[in-house]
Structure 1
Amino acid sequence: MTKEIPEIDDLMKGINDSDLVLNAEAQEADHAETIAGASTSLPDGIDKCWENFLTYLETEDTRENKEDRLVCKLDRDLADSLDDCDIHNRCRSDLVNAIVRAFFEAFLPQLAKYRREKKSLFMNFKEG
């Protein structure tokens, strides 16, 4: 039972190899081009939603009263993913608000079907 030990030249293959480094850089460039190409070939509706998101994100800092914000819990994977995004140097809350506003703008007619009825006792109260 003898184990075959590879030759030293086989083990050193690729170390300080300029062809290997250049090949890796070329693959990264191809990957970046693929990502850039994918973002430009979005359907019109999604492209408009993306533009609305960016617009809301840009105008988010002009809102005077950020104290009116409420707490909403996000799944950890979503929160981590948003934290990994650096879009206009905005915080997670700004990103979530812009995403939800863009979604509402795009799908308000569909969302209206699911609107809850107000069931307050004050609905039919008339001051007399």
Structure 2
Amino acid sequence: MRSNPDGTADDTRTVLTLVTGASARAREAAIAASLSDLHEDGEQAIILEGLASGTSPLDDLPTGQAVARIAPGCLCCTGNLVLRVTLNRLLRRRPSRIFIGVADSEHLDQLRSWLHSEPYDQLLRLTSDLNA
């Protein structure tokens, strides 16, 4: 965390929200609703686990929103490398917020722990989970 000249904290980390829910459509609808409620400048990024089933509520996102889909699988176990590469690519774009749609919340605590470890602890600020 950096300090401003007046001594106050300047948290420049990207805000990250894990999104859980029973279906990909429900998770994507929750993300779309959150994005429409946000009044933030800058790019938001979305990482979705699995393929969309038909049309997605995220299909009509405004320009400047990055959406990446990764193969389904446990994001802290078998999907760790793919998630890490995808997350690193998105972080290079310096989005103000990232949503990660998680298909299986069984290992959510391990995923959260991984996101709190180096180097992500310096790059990300995790929020409360969004349950669709």
Query: Normalising by the residue count of structure 2, what TM-score does the alignment of the two structures yield?
Result: 0.29
Q: Which has the larger radius of gyration?
A: 1
Q: Comparing both structures, which one devotes a greater share of its residues to helix?
A: 1
Query: Normalising by the residue count of structure 1, what TM-score does the alignment of the two structures yield?
Result: 0.30
Q: State the structure with bigger RCO (CA 8 A, min sep 6), 1 or 2.
A: 2
